[in-house]
Structure 1
């Protein structure tokens, strides 16, 4: 039986901890967006976006979580991470532009940071390998 060296084991633990936390955050916010929670509609439209965009983003968040959690398909995972990066950085920037207080901005910042950490610590088998 192959044993993992401490660095690899630690990296995998960090990856799965932050990836599952990110997935939970993405799915929970997607559900709130898909059911068009009154508070979420107010938050979303307060940022200047139409409420129908919540459905599109909610569906894409769920599909992105599935893509990241399933085995194999590294190219699909990269696309999902890119989508999460753009959605969450856009959310953070939108909150900052409209001058939202920290309490409304921090959830987007947290999800953005979780996306970056999950992407950074992903195991080799979840990365695209480019052969020269």
Structure 2
């Protein structure tokens, strides 16, 4: 159960609710058209969440099998960000 794992890592249970809500909002943001800057923030949030999960598992001394799901999601996040369509990228020509 996810709550058991969070408690073992030292996180309070309310953190799971907060993280879950932000992840759902991030997925919606990535899937809807337009808002490229908001999409960049969503990808950054996914990267921070997954890299934080990896470091939490590593610092707890957990075996590789507990780290792999977070690592896979981090890799999928990076691949999705890198191969996103051009119309979903931030246009920096105005800066």
Q: Name 2:82's counterpart in structure 1.
A: 120
Secondary structure of residue in 2 paired with 1:88: helix
Whole-angstrom CA distance in 1 between matches of 2:7 and 2:86: 40
Partners of 1:114 and 1:84 in 2: CA distance: 10
> For the residues of structure 1 that align with 2:87 and 2:20, how far apart are their CA atoms?
28
The TM-score normalised by the length of structure 2 is 0.95
Q: Give the TM-score, by structure 1 length.
A: 0.69
* Paired position in structure 1 for 2:64: 102
Q: 1-side partners of 2:83 and 2:9: how far apart?
A: 32
Note the 1:47-126 alignment, pairs <5 A.
47-126=9-88
Structure 1 residue 114 displacement after superposition: 0.5
Runs of 4+ residues over 4 Å off in structure 1 = none
Q: Runs of 5+ in structure 2 lacking a partner?
A: none
Aligned residues: 94
CA separation in 2, counterparts of 1:114 and 1:48? 26
Which ranges in structure 1 are unaligned for 5 or more consecutive residues?
A: 1-38
